[in-house]
Chains A and B, each alone.
Chain A
Amino acid sequence: MAMVEEKGTKQAVEQVTTFESGNEMAALAAAQIDYHVMGYFPITPSTEIAQLLDQMKTRGEHNIQLIAADGEHGSAGICYGASVMGARVFNATSANGLMYMLEQLPVQSGTRFPMVMNLVTRSISGPLDIRGDHSDLYFALNTGWVILLARTPQAVYDMNIMALKIAEHADVRLPVIVAYDGFFTSHQKRKVQYFKDRAVVQAFVGERPTEFPNAADPKNPMTIGAHMNGDDLINNNYQQSEALYRAGEVFKQVAREYAELSGREYPVLDLYQMDDAEVALFLLNSAAETAKDVVDKLRAKGIKAGVISPNIIRPFPAEEIRQALKNVKALLIGERADSYGAHGPNMTHEVKSALQSDSENKTIVLSRVFGVGGKDFYADEAEAFFQLAIEAMEKGYAEKPFDYFGHVPGKQEKKLQRVMEPMHGDAFKTGLIQVTEDEETKRLKVKVPPLRALTAKPKRIAPGHGACPGCGIFPGLELFFKGIEGDVVVLFQTGCAYVVTTAYPYSSHKQTMIHNLFQNGPATLSGAVEAFLEMKKRGDIQVSDDVTFVMVTGDGGMDIGMGSAIGTALRNHKLIMLEYDNEGYMNTGSQMSYSTPMGHMTSTTGVGKTQKGKAFHHKDTAQIMAATNIPYVFTATEAFPQDLIKKAAKAQWYAQNVGTVYGKLLITCPLNWKTEERYGAKIMEAAVNSCFFPLYEVERGITTITYDPEEKNKRIPLSEWLKYMGKTKHLLKEENRDLLLEFEQEVERRWRRLKAKHEHPEL
């Protein structure tokens, strides 16, 4: 898109006007700064930042090492490791991403290593909600990081540049969060300006300070992270506390310098019509903008209204707030999160506490929780807030100091009713599937009927789910469930299958479904199965014996949840872990997973001048799980339905009689593989026949290939599979021949090794 260049008259440096969102501006600032390292893990709505940086990298626009971590805990670890080397470090996250890395944040600040992280604010689970509020931000308040707020995409850019300078300042030496509203600011495009020449940004930020302790200099060895007792800790904490307060002064100084450079000012408090305001709203970030329009309207009617919105909340600008509220008669603090049980959320208490030390202050303070989980905030609602403040001013007191706003009682007649008679037990028993153990070999023999007979068995998942047309998940899951007789309790890890079957107030599950956080499904189901067995043993519950516990996960869940999966396998709980592998984090917009094969394009492994898709080979999860020595491991796909159903039946037998089972279903994702929806099954068949995805099982340690394309004379070159997919079409070009060859060799090496295992029961 063409850009309009404006040669500012006031500004000495050239700025370009463009039309971008908050995430785009955060990525642009990071690219211009050219950080050394970004450790990240995708989570909505912050994910775009890593994607945009990846795109820029494929065009050679920056040199940041973008490291896709195994989860946010890992990403924070990568960032910490990089920052102790003295490098410039960047991260971005949201909601449970922040929660998962939370324990790292006080380490980063308490050991005094600067870095910058964008917190694209979003509601924390549970229930899960992917849209914006400040419940994540409030958990960051006690981490010892400096926290800047950015209300607009322009502020996101500007704050990102200021943030590093503040973080690295000799008086501060602390990590900095730039927080802005998920979706409202992260995804809305606005007219924004940026510095045309990155050298301007780099000159403003200054040279990387080298005089501080770091781990990169062997000539100057040091110990980073010694442990302490209270006598020493109190001094460390005092140092940190002082540094954070000093950051407030440094912010003012940096903001002044930045205003001179850019022409854009960021005072500690953004005060709108506060000079003579009698009623005011205190709001963080984007909501404050909406309220300003209402102030104009009220002022036209003669009401002295105003809005306060801080640009920095750590350190908390108590003195500035006292000054701003000196003559305000009633203030409403609107908060997009609660501090449950505290009679008001965090900002309410901090503002009240600031006022406490002004003995002359008479401001009536009201507090309202509003706009959580991305609930929109409309101008008429801001007006209702002012109305509450006006009422309090007129009465001289607040009738209800603390309340929620925007919650509704609902109508009794609309209460959800059971829709279907519960289907359980015999409803899912056909008696047509037989599994018997061979006394001698300890191998299982399975008899399954023709698929036609199994259409009499109801599906476990109801239609009406919201998956994309042609989604491979559901045929895969239902074929698996066809092989399972009787009741199941399923746990769905976060991912497409979960999201599209449970959009409140709708569920597409006929039997009980549990969801827990992304990385914790195996542990959760371990607890569920053990509690079930224990309660049954004690006679606390009267249920049949043959309930099968199945965890359903994507390949993403098996990345972030690998530790939990291995722990569960090692404990050998009687449950099945079933992975649908679509080679990426499709639910968040097709970021790479460790299961993405080499060279494949995703939104974080772009194809361009400097990079050709994913740089390393796909994870062999089935072999990793087999190495835990669980009784049964298998791979399967919808293109070979009988094979899949047989394996499901075996899986059930092992999960009921012996212990943990792991199975991987390869499935197509037409949207992100860029394939035609109708070819789903053909593409799977090609994946198997090219030996990219061999069908096999490891039963009590013995490997059996259940379908050998070579024996059947069906083997095809890998390119025959790759040609179907838009995400791999570059691999078939002459210029990428070496890359394709490397991929082919790895596929062949794994296939040969598998064949060797198949031939030698001791391997």
Chain B
Amino acid sequence: MSILPKKNELGFFEIRLESIGGLGANLAGKMLAEAGVLGLGLNGSNFSSYGSEKKGSPVKSFIRFCDPDTEIRAHSPIEEPHVIGVFHEALYKMVDVVSGLAPDGIVLVNSTREFDDIKRDLRLEYGTLAVVDALGIAVEEKTKVNTAMLGALFRVCDFLDPEAMKQVIRKTFEKKYPHLVESNIRTFERGYHEVRFKTYEAPESARGKAFSRPEPLLGYETQEIGGIISANANSIFKDLSGSRQGFLPKWEEEKCIHCVACDTVCPDFCFVWEEGEDKKGRKQMFLRGIDYQYCKGCLKCVEACPTAALSVEREQIGFAEQHQVKQKFPLATGGAY
């Protein structure tokens, strides 16, 4: 008898984790897979999206489980998973995180928000939504988001053995960081217990979220020869706000002395300057605000600020949009962007 609750035509139960680099989704994926393969004797495979992704860029981790006698030959990314784990809520702005989810699938989201709000933002129609405040748990326990998510994932994948996972956590930390054992086990347990579920029933006719294999923007008739890009600086259209991990700098004009310390240390060119006149009527440069589209939340600027004009803000949805000051570039189509 198979312990797997569901299987696709090749006999796989499939999980896809959606995250940004730095949150530990790959490690969580590996531990999840090992719990099934080495702990329960299932066959399985585990891998990540590959590339030169840096911290803060979207990443995926894939887990396939099957019965011990099923051979795994597929190498391709998981397109139609049974379970999706979203480690970073703001990802939906950059990635269609629920792509390919079956109508009876489960999406686990790290969030503090209401089910229906999340459902709307993810453009989820049917399926079970599971929500856990993994960041909140991690902040309280001074641990990592991935351990809380792992706890919730063990609840979602109820054929796995959470006790065995706790043993693994104990072993992992015991030797080098004994003081972290209990807080990590608590984090795992809280993830496991605090996850909440809501099911959106699928009508008979529901077919799940169709998976669309991403198409390249260009082709052999439209790509310039030799891979040359003559649309220089087109990265200005990228939205990097999803790279922030819960915090951003807040700027208060009245406390600002326009000293440029923030601009000097900013890796992402977020500070917007404009010529104006000082009190004596002399031309001078003034800081006008922050272009949050590019801000990855490193907070170097807050550290550099000699006054209290820049401070750390726990990011609430909508804050960046409300306080956004756009960079002005000389756009080719005319006008300022």
Whether, in the assembled complex, B279 has its beta carbon less than 8 Å from a beta carbon of chain A, the answer is no
A500 CB contacts on chain B under 8 angstroms? 52, 54
B285: contacting residue among A126, A378, A407, A456, CB under 8 A:
A456
- Distance of A193 Cα from B299 Cα, bound (Å): 47
- Distance of A499 Cα from B57 Cα, bound (Å): 13
Nearest Cβ distance between residue A84 and chain B, in whole angstroms?
Answer: 37
Whether, in the assembled complex, B309 has its beta carbon less than 8 Å from a beta carbon of chain A, the answer is no
B264 CB contacts on chain A under 8 angstroms? 451, 475, 479, 638, 641, 681
Closest residue of A by beta carbon distance from B233:
A462
Closest residue of B by beta carbon distance from A190:
B45
Nearest Cβ distance between residue B176 and chain A, in whole angstroms?
Answer: 11
- Distance of A670 Cα from B245 Cα, bound (Å): 15
Prevailing SS type, chain B contact patch: loop
- Distance of A428 Cα from B271 Cα, bound (Å): 18
Q: Which of B283-310 contact A (CB under 8 A)?
A: 284-285, 291, 293-294, 296-300, 302-304
A504–B284 CB distance below 8 A:
no
Give the interface centre of B232, B275, B297, B303 by most chain A CB atoms within 10 Å. Answer: B232
A511 CB contacts on chain B under 8 angstroms? 232
A18 CB contacts on chain B under 8 angstroms? 38
**Interface 9-mer from B102-110, B117-125, B192-200, B212-220:** B212-220
A286–B75 CB distance below 8 A:
yes
Give the interface centre of B224, B270, B299, B302 by most chain A CB atoms within 10 Å. Answer: B299
Given contacts A408-B216, A478-B269, contact A506 B238 (CB under 8 A): yes
B291 CB contacts on chain A under 8 angstroms? 463
**Interface 9-mer from A219-227, A246-254, A464-472, A738-746:** A464-472
Closest residue of A by beta carbon distance from B73:
A289
Closest residue of A by beta carbon distance from B40:
A4
- Distance of A410 Cα from B227 Cα, bound (Å): 14
A19–B168 CB distance below 8 A:
no
Whether, in the assembled complex, A678 has its beta carbon less than 8 Å from a beta carbon of chain B, the answer is yes
- Distance of A130 Cα from B271 Cα, bound (Å): 33
Closest residue of B by beta carbon distance from A461:
B269
- Distance of A237 Cα from B81 Cα, bound (Å): 55
Please encode chain B, from 164 to 196, with 1 for each CB lying within 8 Å of some chain A CB and 0 for all others: 000110010000000000000000000000000
Nearest Cβ distance between residue B328 and chain A, in whole angstroms?
Answer: 10
Whether, in the assembled complex, B47 has its beta carbon less than 8 Å from a beta carbon of chain A, the answer is yes
A508 CB contacts on chain B under 8 angstroms? 233, 235
- Distance of A622 Cα from B51 Cα, bound (Å): 33
B232–A510 CB distance below 8 A:
yes
- Distance of A233 Cα from B233 Cα, bound (Å): 55
- Distance of A262 Cα from B33 Cα, bound (Å): 25
A506–B216 CB distance below 8 A:
no
Whether, in the assembled complex, B205 has its beta carbon less than 8 Å from a beta carbon of chain A, the answer is no
B236: contacting residue among A376, A419, A466, A501, CB under 8 A:
A419
- Distance of A456 Cα from B240 Cα, bound (Å): 24
Closest residue of B by beta carbon distance from A2:
B38
Nearest Cβ distance between residue A37 and chain B, in whole angstroms?
Answer: 30
Whether, in the assembled complex, B229 has its beta carbon less than 8 Å from a beta carbon of chain A, the answer is yes
A359 CB contacts on chain B under 8 angstroms? none
A510 CB contacts on chain B under 8 angstroms? 232-233
A407: contacting residue among B72, B220, B234, B332, CB under 8 A:
B220
B43 CB contacts on chain A under 8 angstroms? 191
Whether, in the assembled complex, A112 has its beta carbon less than 8 Å from a beta carbon of chain B, the answer is no
Given contacts A416-B224, A455-B260, A464-B240, contact A289 B75 (CB under 8 A): yes
Give the interface centre of A293, A376, A505 by most chain B CB atoms within 10 Å. Answer: A505
Nearest Cβ distance between residue A556 and chain B, in whole angstroms?
Answer: 14
Please encode chain A, from 1 to 42, with 1 for each CB lying within 8 Å of some chain B CB and 0 for all others: 111100000000000011101000000000000000000000
B219–A407 CB distance below 8 A:
yes
Whether, in the assembled complex, A440 has its beta carbon less than 8 Å from a beta carbon of chain B, the answer is no
Whether, in the assembled complex, B77 has its beta carbon less than 8 Å from a beta carbon of chain A, the answer is yes
A502 CB contacts on chain B under 8 angstroms? 229
B332–A418 CB distance below 8 A:
yes
B55 CB contacts on chain A under 8 angstroms? 468-469, 671
- Distance of A670 Cα from B56 Cα, bound (Å): 12
B233–A504 CB distance below 8 A:
no
Q: Which of B14-57 contact A (CB under 8 A)?
A: 21-22, 30, 33-34, 37-39, 41, 43-48, 50-57
A452–B260 CB distance below 8 A:
yes
Please encode chain A, from 471 to 500, with 1 for each CB lying within 8 Å of some chain B CB and 0 for all others: 111110011000000000000000010011
Nearest Cβ distance between residue A512 and chain B, in whole angstroms?
Answer: 8
B303: contacting residue among A410, A462, A682, CB under 8 A:
A682
Give the interface centre of B10, B234, B270 by most chain A CB atoms within 10 Å. Answer: B234
Whether, in the assembled complex, B231 has its beta carbon less than 8 Å from a beta carbon of chain A, the answer is yes
B230–A416 CB distance below 8 A:
yes
- Distance of A408 Cα from B217 Cα, bound (Å): 10
Instruction: Report the interface size class on chain B.
Output: 35 or more
**Interface 9-mer from A86-94, A180-188, A329-337:** A180-188
B237–A587 CB distance below 8 A:
no
B293 CB contacts on chain A under 8 angstroms? 463
Whether, in the assembled complex, A420 has its beta carbon less than 8 Å from a beta carbon of chain B, the answer is yes
Closest residue of A by beta carbon distance from B42:
A191
B74–A379 CB distance below 8 A:
yes
- Distance of A412 Cα from B220 Cα, bound (Å): 11
B332–A420 CB distance below 8 A:
yes
- Distance of A130 Cα from B46 Cα, bound (Å): 20
Nearest Cβ distance between residue A634 and chain B, in whole angstroms?
Answer: 18
B231–A416 CB distance below 8 A:
yes
- Distance of A507 Cα from B236 Cα, bound (Å): 9
A3 CB contacts on chain B under 8 angstroms? 38
Whether, in the assembled complex, A230 has its beta carbon less than 8 Å from a beta carbon of chain B, the answer is no
Whether, in the assembled complex, B139 has its beta carbon less than 8 Å from a beta carbon of chain A, the answer is no
Given contacts A18-B38, A474-B268, contact A420 B220 (CB under 8 A): no
B296–A290 CB distance below 8 A:
no
- Distance of A504 Cα from B277 Cα, bound (Å): 41
Whether, in the assembled complex, A414 has its beta carbon less than 8 Å from a beta carbon of chain B, the answer is yes
Whether, in the assembled complex, B329 has its beta carbon less than 8 Å from a beta carbon of chain A, the answer is yes
- Distance of A675 Cα from B275 Cα, bound (Å): 36
Given contacts A183-B50, A191-B43, contact A680 B300 (CB under 8 A): yes
Give the interface centre of A181, A412, A416, A681 by most chain B CB atoms within 10 Å. Answer: A416
Given contacts A414-B217, A464-B237, A471-B267, contact A377 B299 (CB under 8 A): no
Whether, in the assembled complex, A417 has its beta carbon less than 8 Å from a beta carbon of chain B, the answer is yes
Closest residue of A by beta carbon distance from B229:
A507
B232–A475 CB distance below 8 A:
no
A452–B285 CB distance below 8 A:
yes
Q: Which of B199-254 contact A (CB under 8 A)?
A: 213, 215-224, 226-227, 229-238, 240, 243-245
- Distance of A289 Cα from B331 Cα, bound (Å): 49
B234 CB contacts on chain A under 8 angstroms? 416, 419, 505-507
Nearest Cβ distance between residue A453 and chain B, in whole angstroms?
Answer: 6
- Distance of A499 Cα from B332 Cα, bound (Å): 25
- Distance of A121 Cα from B27 Cα, bound (Å): 25
A126–B227 CB distance below 8 A:
yes
B37–A191 CB distance below 8 A:
yes
A130–B51 CB distance below 8 A:
yes
B222 CB contacts on chain A under 8 angstroms? 409-412, 414-416
Whether, in the assembled complex, B316 has its beta carbon less than 8 Å from a beta carbon of chain A, the answer is no
Whether, in the assembled complex, B281 has its beta carbon less than 8 Å from a beta carbon of chain A, the answer is no
- Distance of A137 Cα from B167 Cα, bound (Å): 43
A-B contact pairs, 14 of them (CB 8 A): A2-B171, A127-B227, A189-B33, A377-B76, A415-B218, A421-B331, A455-B263, A455-B271, A464-B294, A466-B240, A504-B227, A506-B234, A507-B235, A510-B233
Sort A-B residue pairs by CB-CB distance and give the 3 closest, nearest first.
A410-B219, A464-B235, A470-B298
| Chain A residues near B (Cβ < 8 Å) | 1-4, 17-19, 21, 44-45, 126-127, 130-131, 181, 183-185, 187-191, 286, 289-290, 292-293, 374, 376-379, 407-412, 414-423, 450-456, 459, 461-475, 478-479, 496, 499-512, 587, 638, 641, 670-671, 677-682
Known: A464-B236, A470-B300, A472-B267. 14 other contacts (CB 8 A): A19-B44, A410-B216, A418-B332, A419-B236, A420-B232, A452-B259, A459-B269, A463-B293, A468-B21, A471-B54, A471-B267, A508-B233, A678-B303, A679-B300
